[in-house]
Amino acid sequence: MRKIIASLDIGDTWIKLVIGEIVRNKVNILACVDTPSRGIKKGFVVNNESAIEALKEVFLKAEETIGLKIKKVLVTIPSNNTECFLEEGYTTLNREDNIVNSKDIIRAMQASVYNKLALNRELVTILPTKFLINDTQIVDEPLGLPADKLNVKAIAVTVPKKNSEAIIKCLEKIDIEVIDIAIGPLGDYYEFRNKETEKCVGAIVNIGSSKTEVSIFNKGRLTALEVIDMGGDNIDYDIGYVYKINRRDSMYLKEKMALCDKNMAQPSESCFVDSKNGDKVKINQFDVSEVVISRLKEILNLVKKQINLLTKKEISYIIITGGTTECAEFKSLVDEVFSKAIVGNVLEIGARNNKFATAVGLIKYYDSRLRLRNKDFSIFSIEEQEELSGVHKRVNISEDSILGKLFNYFFDN
């Protein structure tokens, strides 16, 4: 079975939908689409009708790309008020072979949170830190090992139930089944993780349109998270306020003209924009860059402060991603504020924009959960996968077409 997973990332500016196939532990992008977000504020549904229309639109775009109806999806929910806590659980094996299987692992993980969640909290994920065989042998991968008892220490990640309820209801109204929920930082980490990040403590930062998520990972496990209510939208508002122009023009100036390095900005590079009063406003690259840099510096310094508040452990890496990092020369500003931070860029062909980092990474995250449970999964049936591959498809060639006449010529002579 082909492993094909759909991931939906809902933001204030864009709703992103990515369909990817796992091939040799890598994501092959089958469809990557987005649509302007409506009825959403800071990740929460504020207008059901508008949100549903936007969701319909993004699914239609993806379906037109791959030629199949999408019925199942993994969806991000707001990470506001996320809590991470360490718990322990165990299960006993009473079979003849006593070989640990995926069901034993799941039971042990479920036992670690049994009766430990508040009624108003939703479990997002359980991240095992280590397994213990027969109370003595510590292992990372217990699958296939002999055991009478399997213990697990795990980090449980929870959010308020209100974070997920509204968006799930909206998706159900358009006949989309939510196969799982996740928070953005899990996707961001899995998009950029490597052998080094799995050995140490680091920070993952996503600067989106309305908020900036700062998360701490210890050996690949999420341990702390905070949301800063500031992002790319604030830059748009700053430009709009300074020059008295509308948001669309502000976004254009931020994305197409401004630079995050004043040394490269040119005062002679300028353009005219209509103000809200109907006047022509001349804006040069140097001045608009100063506006952008000022706000981004504020955000990055808040990130720096938040990292220090979230952990006292030594930080080995800081990876910064998200749509706002697509601003020209953003790396120069990062180097100015941080000593050891990098900009995480999405490299998968078909999704090379950092606004897709979360959606692409969540496909990798979900695949890792499937492998832990020793399960295969696809949003498409075997028949649909064959249709996607072009199996059994017939090409109808009209006899009146040029290609049809060529066929007739060769086979008739």
Q: Tens of pLDDT along 292-306?
A: 999 999 999 999 999
Over residues 261-285, the mean pLDDT reads 94
Per-domain boundaries in the chain = 83-160, 232-295, 382-412
83-160 and 232-295 have identical folds: no
User: Is-contact 182 138, C-beta < 8 A?
Assistant: no
Q: Which residue has the higher pLDDT, 372 or 180?
A: 180
pLDDT for the residue 408: 53
Distance CA 49, CA 61 (A): 19
pLDDT band of 390, cuts 50, 70, 90: low
Q: What pLDDT is stored for residue 400 in this prediction?
A: 56
Residue 355 in tokens: 């606004």
Q: Give residue 146's region: left, alpha or beta (phi > 0; psi -120 to 50).
A: beta
The 3-class SS string of 289-357 reads HHHHHHHHHHHHHHHHHHHHHHCCCCCCEEEEECHHHHCCCHHHHHHHHCCCEEECCCCCCCCCCHHHH
Q: Cα dist. 96→26, 99, 256 in Å?
A: 37, 9, 66
Is the pLDDT at 411 greater than 50? The verdict is no
Calpha distance 244→247 (Å, rounded):
10
CA dihedral 211, 217, 223, 228 (to 10 degrees): -10
User: Quick one: pLDDT band at residue 168, thresholds 50, 70, 90?
Assistant: very high
Specify the pLDDT at position 399: 53
CATH number of 232-295: 3.30.420.40
Longest CA–CA separation in the chain, Å: 83
- Can you tell me the distance from the alpha carbon of 16 to that of 8, in angstroms, rounded to the nearest whole number? 6
Domain 83-160: which topology? Dna Ligase; domain 1 (3.30.1490)
